[in-house]
Amino acid sequence: MSDGKLALHDRGLYRFWYRDVIRFGDLDRQGHVNNARFATYCEGGRVAMLDEQIRPLLGADDSFVLASITINFRREMHYPGEVEIGTRILRLGTSSLTFGQGLFSKDHCTATAEATVVLLDPATRRPKPFPEEVRADLWRLAAD
Amino acid sequence: MSDGKLALHDRGLYRFWYRDVIRFGDLDRQGHVNNARFATYCEGGRVAMLDEQIRPLLGADDSFVLASITINFRREMHYPGEVEIGTRILRLGTSSLTFGQGLFSKDHCTATAEATVVLLDPATRRPKPFPEEVRADLWRLAAD
Amino acid sequence: MSDGKLALHDRGLYRFWYRDVIRFGDLDRQGHVNNARFATYCEGGRVAMLDEQIRPLLGADDSFVLASITINFRREMHYPGEVEIGTRILRLGTSSLTFGQGLFSKDHCTATAEATVVLLDPATRRPKPFPEEVRADLWRLAAD
Amino acid sequence: MSDGKLALHDRGLYRFWYRDVIRFGDLDRQGHVNNARFATYCEGGRVAMLDEQIRPLLGADDSFVLASITINFRREMHYPGEVEIGTRILRLGTSSLTFGQGLFSKDHCTATAEATVVLLDPATRRPKPFPEEVRADLWRLAAD
């Protein structure tokens, strides 16, 4: 877990994978997948990793809010086809978590992305630091 | 309020109007608005009429479930542009309500639609008859 | 191939299947798959059958236009999960083709649908009758 | 036109405005506008500025490809409502153009964004430098 130096377009970086189907309805007038659908594919991987690996570490009332996303487009995506989304923890802040992602279709990395989410205190809806033991678990996930 | 004999492509039929903006992202590979977005435009008009005119007649816990939609496509829609959605009550059943709709863009009716929703009992989630006084109000709305 | 008497919610009716992934982004405020996404799932099955089984029978310039869709909702769909879309030819007109469809998720039929497309003459963009030999092939597909 | 020092959440920064309607279908399970729809709203403003102010300066065959987008989320957006999208040129590279954007709904800035597009040579589909006279026009637009 270093600082954005990781080559997000490298499949070897990811152990958590999510797979989606490219829909005819994802295409835009230019005949390729619309840019906003890349954000949807990223969301698919991120939500799956949160649900399966991260939320179980937290209280039932804890929630996350999305603070920022960046997508770097590398190639067009086409229909029909699938997209594989690799997701990993890239950085861990006091109350925030940054995911690194790679989208892959037909053997190419079509985009890389970063997304930062912030843990919210359920009562105040303000940022809340990750508890120490959770932090240790997240580091372990991140080091994977 | 008769039975589907109404000319749903006639603007004069509607008093309740909702307006949406056609998005670049609504287009598909063929360069026109994707068919599923017609369903989204219809939903816009239907939800607005429900929220503004129909839900206020009902209990706070009453809810509707969508039972069916039919869309008859008449013309392509193009970007940029707007779509005006006319919505009216077409039929009133024991627990169901059928809306008739017309979509209009650039002076043409681009589609007509019917959608049937069913009133649910909040406790049982089963269909629930409209109370008599609500029925009278709905007939009045429908006769508008 | 009879007339709408077919039980579209019966999996046994379909030999052509298409599979899509339910996305977190398909959900609406009610926590279930938004109704317009049912139209997108139907489109997925229809486009796949057109591309794989029907367009190869036709000229490269022939195209279809969607004339109507009807969706009958039977159950909510939830995330995460998949949706299987069964599609078959239901009726064959002079220039039109009606598909019958069933959507299935987690062992339940969640919706049935019909969609009618019309074959267009590439020059005039007017409806064009299916050539006789194509008609025979379509009947064969329909009888499957 | 400086370097990201501009306060993108300040309405005064923008002279080019685009307006969109928040749809019921833009909401997700959390009852607020889904993050990927922010990307769609940004696309609306960007495509409008490209079509109205930038493409007229270029050859008919020139096209742009989206290289990257970053969205910083500041507040939830809710239905019903509208979103106003302010867009301006933020940076001008040899072949690239970076837009700065602010999304505003109900008197609040709900997100800021940057998007970089690259001009493509129609023949080679490789990046192509902006011609000098176009560059001067773009600087003028940017200085607005």
Number of alpha carbons in the 13 Å side-chain half-sphere of residue B106: 9
pLDDT beyond 50 at A89? yes
> Could you tell me the two tokens for A108?
């190419």
Q: Is residue A38 within 8 Å of A111, Cβ to Cβ?
A: yes
Neighbours of chain C (3+ CB pairs under 8 A): A, B, D
Tens-place pLDDT, residues C7-41: 999 999 999 999 999 999 999 999 999 999 999 99
Measured between CA atoms, the residue of chain B closest to residue A34 is B25
Please check the confidence at residue A4 and state whether its pLDDT lies above 60: no
Say yes or no for a CB contact (<8 Å) between C24 and D24: no
Confidence of residue D144 (pLDDT cuts 50, 70, 90): confident
List chain B residues with CB under 8 Å of D20: 21, 23
Place of tokens 């152990």: A15
Residue B1 confidence (pLDDT): 45
How are strands ordered across the β-sheet holding A81-92?
A16-22, A81-92, A96-105, A108-120, A63-73, D63-73, D108-120, D96-105, D81-92, D16-22
Q: Per-residue pLDDT for C2 more than 80?
A: no
Q: Label residue C5 by pLDDT band (50, 70, 90).
A: low
Contact assignment for C21 to A20 by CB distance below 8 Å: yes
Residue of D nearest to B22 (CA): D20
Cβ atoms of D101 and D42 closer than 8 Å: yes
pLDDT confidence of residue B66: 97
Helix or strand holding residue A44 (H, E): helix A35-49
Average pLDDT in chain A: 94
What the block records as the tokens of C24 is 């977190």
Q: What letters, b where the CB count within 10 A reaches 16 and e where it falls short, cover B91-117?
A: bbeebbbbbbbbbbbeeebbbbbbbbb
Tokens of A37: 């659908």
**Looking at beta carbons, which residues of chain B come within 8 Å of D50?**
none
> Nearest C-alpha of chain A: how many angstroms from D133?
28
In this complex, the residue of B39, B67, B71 whose CB is nearest that of residue C68 is B71
Distance CA D106, CA D110 (A): 9
Query: What is the 3 state secondary structure string of chain D?
Result: CCCCCCCCCCHHHCCEEEEEEECHHHECCCCCECHHHHHHHHHHHHHHHHHHHHHHHCCCCCEEEEEEEEEEECCCCCCCEEEEEEEEEEEECCCEEEEEEEEEECCEEEEEEEEEEEEECCCCCCECCCCHHHHHHHHHHHHC
pLDDT in tens, C72-92: 999 999 999 999 999 999 999
List subunits contacting chain A, requiring 3 or more Cβ pairs under 8 Å: B, C, D
**Mutation to test the A interface, candidates B23, B24, B28, most A Cβ within 10 Å:** B28
Place of tokens 């029978």: C57
User: Within an 8 Å CB–CB cutoff, is residue C13 touching chain A?
Assistant: no
Q: Nearest chain A Cα to D112, which residue?
A: A68
Residues in chain B predicted with pLDDT less than 50, given as ranges, are 1-4
What residues are paired with A119 via a beta bridge?
A: A64
D41–chain B nearest CA distance, Å:
9
Res D23: pLDDT: 98
How many whole angstroms separate alpha carbon B109 and alpha carbon D96?
41
Mean pLDDT, residues A34-39 taken together: 98
D125 pLDDT above the threshold of 50: yes
In DSSP terms, B20 is beta-bridged to B83
The per-residue pLDDT for C143 is: 86
- Other Cβ atoms closer than 10 A to A110: 23
β-partners of residue A91 are A98
Mean pLDDT, rounded, for A106-131: 95
Residues on chain D touching B19 (C-beta within 8 angstroms): 21
**Contact residues on chain A for C21, CB-CB shorter than 8 A:** 19-21, 44
> Higher confidence at residue C62 or residue B4?
C62
Residue C115 β-bridge partners:
C69, C99
- Domain D11-143 adopts which CATH fold? Thiol Ester Dehydrase; Chain A (3.10.129)
Span D69-114, pLDDT tens digits: 999 999 999 999 999 999 999 999 999 999 999 999 999 999 999 9
pLDDT digits (tens, 9 = 90+) for D25-69: 999 999 999 999 999 999 999 999 999 999 999 988 999 999 999
CB interface of A with B, residues 63-102, below 8 Å? 79
In C, minimum Cα distance to A51 occurs at: C80
In the three-class reduction of DSSP (H, G, I as helix; E, B as strand; rest coil), residue A72 is classed as strand
Of the listed ranges C44-48, C110-114, C120-124, D13-17, the least confidently predicted one is C120-124
Residue A13 pLDDT class (50, 70, 90 cuts): very high
Contact A24 B24 (CB under 8 A): no
Any CB–CB contact under 8 A between D27 and chain C? yes
Q: Place D143 in a pLDDT band, splitting at 50, 70 and 90.
A: confident
CB-based contact, C34 to chain D, within 8 Å: yes
User: What pLDDT is recorded for position C1?
Assistant: 45
